[in-house]
Amino acid sequence: MIKVVIADRMGKGQKVAAGVEAAGGEAIVVPGMGADMRLGDVMHQENADMGISFCGSGGAGALTASTKYGYPERHGMRSIQEGITAIEEGKTVLGFGFMDKEELGQKLTETFAKKYNK
């Protein structure tokens, strides 16, 4: 099962989590304000497969996770297709502007499963 950590600057992410679960993954939503800055720590603790960060710029949490733990990241994304392409290119930490959409979680999890045969 694909384990996905979701960390939103405003403490949201429940809709993305529902999409991850609809695609057969396990979603872990980091609680509280500023959660995006804890993405890498929670991914590391949970031995997660993928992390999704949300903030205004779409970068802070993803960059922090990459810098601290070496996860390959892409940030500043604004569409589902950009996330799909990033996974296809081997990125495991994805930084988006605010996009708490069920479809996003589902499509990213499906793409990850296809790429890594999980």
Using an 8 Å Cβ cutoff, are 51 and 27 in contact?
no
CATH architecture for residues 3-116: 3-Layer(aba) Sandwich (3.40)
Q: How high is the pLDDT of residue 11?
A: 87
Residues of the chain with pLDDT under 70: none
Q: How high is the pLDDT of residue 102?
A: 97
Domain boundaries, the chain: 3-116
Enclosing H/E stretch for 26: strand 26-30
**Cα 32 to Cα 64: distance, rounded to the nearest angstrom:** 17
